[in-house]
Chains A and B, each alone.
Chain A
Amino acid sequence: DTGVSQDPRHKITKRGQNVTFRCDPISEHNRLYWYRQTLGQGPEFLTYFQNEAQLEKSRLLSDRFSAERPKGSFSTLEIQRTEQGDSAMYLCASSFTGVGSPLHFGNGTRLTVT
């Protein structure tokens, strides 16, 4: 399977704990995106990388969130001091370079903060 891979699929954590998610994009794609989706809403943009450079970060993104893509391949998204409001599906997607290139999503990581 050469699609976008995310790990873990599910994560349950207690409020205040840190969590880290991993995303492996489609190997030919140099863009990698993180989105968040809550029930009844569309995916909400968090950040994106072109190769290893983080080019845009949502203004809605708290300082508790950080993302890296150290070698331009896989990416990690860390949430520090989790809050119940962080409970959501975290989606990773990848694409080729170019405005309007279709995004291909992974299966997502469902985070539940208790």
Chain B
Amino acid sequence: QKEVEQNSGPLSVPEGAIASLNCTYSDRGSQSFFWYRQYSGKSPELIMFIYSNGDKEDGRFTAQLNKASQYVSLLIRDSQPSDSATYLCAVAISGFQKLVFGTGTRLLVSP
């Protein structure tokens, strides 16, 4: 079982819709969770991080964490074509001072 798993996609949504990106992780002791956005050929850019169960909102982005289910998600409201990118989920695995990344989900927002 991979430490961090994401559906590779692509996830296609129309402009203005809500995009829902999901991630599961294997280490029950993990405490910190991150979402990065990566445009083709570019480096990952931090979007949000979440440490506590529940929701965290920042503009059009909402991160949701459910530690019991070992599940973290990212919602993008009012999706724009400029949101088209690969979204990487990263988890700080307990006991390790590093982030482990999933393979990313490719999001396509059509005008």
The answer to whether A and B belong to the same complex is: yes
Interface of A is mostly: strand
Contact B98 A33 (CB under 8 A): yes
How many residues on the A side are at the interface (Cβ–Cβ under 8 A)? 24
Contact A107 B43 (CB under 8 A): yes
Contact A41 B103 (CB under 8 A): yes
Assess A31 versus B103: contact at CB under 8 Å? Given A100-B49, A104-B46, A105-B44: no
Interface residues in B26-43 by Cβ distance below 8 A to A read 31-32, 34, 36, 42-43
From A42, A48, A105, A108, B103 is in contact (CB under 8 Å) with: A42
Q: Which residue of A lies closest to B34 (CB)?
A: A102
From A40, A50, A106, B43 is in contact (CB under 8 Å) with: A106
> Could you mark each residue 82-95 of chain A with 1 if its beta carbon is under 8 Å from any beta carbon of chain B, else 0?
00000001010000
Interface residues in A30-61 by Cβ distance below 8 A to B read 31, 33, 35, 40-45, 48, 50, 55-56
- Identify the A interface with B (CB < 8 A): 31, 33, 35, 40-45, 48, 50, 55-56, 89, 91, 99-100, 102-108
